[in-house]
Amino acid sequence: MSQPVAWGHPRAERADAARNRRVLLATARDMIAEQGADKLTMDGLAEQAGLGKGTVFRRFGTRAGIFQALLDDDERRFQADVLSGPAPLGPGAPPLDRLIAYGQARIDFLVSHSQIARAALDGRGQAPAGSQSPLSRAHIRFLLGELRLGDVDVDILATQLTSALDGPLLLYLSSDVLARPAPRISERLSEGWEQLIRRICRP
């Protein structure tokens, strides 16, 4: 099955800049895993990575920029799985199975990244879900088209379904809900997604 969605690629970097970026992102991930996102600072990241503060500020601009870069990096990996990973998330499965699998994988991604996504908010931009998140709608639109649903406005339907995944729903769940174990949150939302898709796409 051909895939008409151009997901985008990171800009080319100088070798030293690319190396610094890899070191900084890997160090940031380690620090978040050990201390939590709220403890990560620009100065602390520079010290832990063994790089100058100026390098960190030039690379990320702000503390929120660190988390946005982490989100973007993971987003590219997620998109690679969608484009060329194993079915049903990747190509080769029927469109209904791919649509269900995509939504469930996206839910897992957003729930597992909720801490980073919140930290990426600095009040100046839209709620983040990775730099390429608008293309989630294009992928859903493509799969809906493959399903041949008849007299259905697939453009509007794709927008509505995307809002259930890349919209603020998963970023702004109540603190009480977020305090529960993440796997259970993901499981319930994934079950709801499958039920929704099967009802919408019922012959």
User: 60-110 pLDDT, tens per residue?
Assistant: 999 999 999 999 999 999 999 999 999 999 999 999 999 999 999 998 888
11 backbone dihedrals φ, ψ, rounded to 5°: -65, 150
Helix, strand counts (H, E) of the chain: 10, 0
The secondary element (H helix, E strand) that includes residue 49 is: helix 42-49
Furthest CA-CA distance within the chain: 60
The pLDDT score that the predictor gives to residue 173 is 58
Assess whether 125 and 144 both reside in one domain: yes
pTM confidence score: 0.80
| Distance, CA of 112 to chain centre | 9
Give the model confidence (pLDDT) of 102-154 as tens digits. Answer: 999 998 888 888 888 878 876 555 544 444 455 789 999 999 999 999 999 99
CB atoms within 10 A of CB 93: 16
Tell me, yes or no, whether 52 and 142 share the same domain.
no
CA-to-CA distance for 141 and 158, rounded, in angstroms? 5
Same-domain check for residues 101 and 114 = yes
What's the domain range around 140? 64-200
Q: Which two structure tokens, joined as six digits, stand for 73?
A: 């990096």
pLDDT for residue 194: 96
Split into its structural domains, the chain has a count of 2
Q: How many CB atoms lie within 10 A of CB 2?
A: 5
The pLDDT tens digits of the residues spanning 7-64 come to: 555 556 678 888 999 999 999 999 999 999 999 999 999 999 999 999 999 999 999 9
Q: What is the pLDDT of residue 183?
A: 63
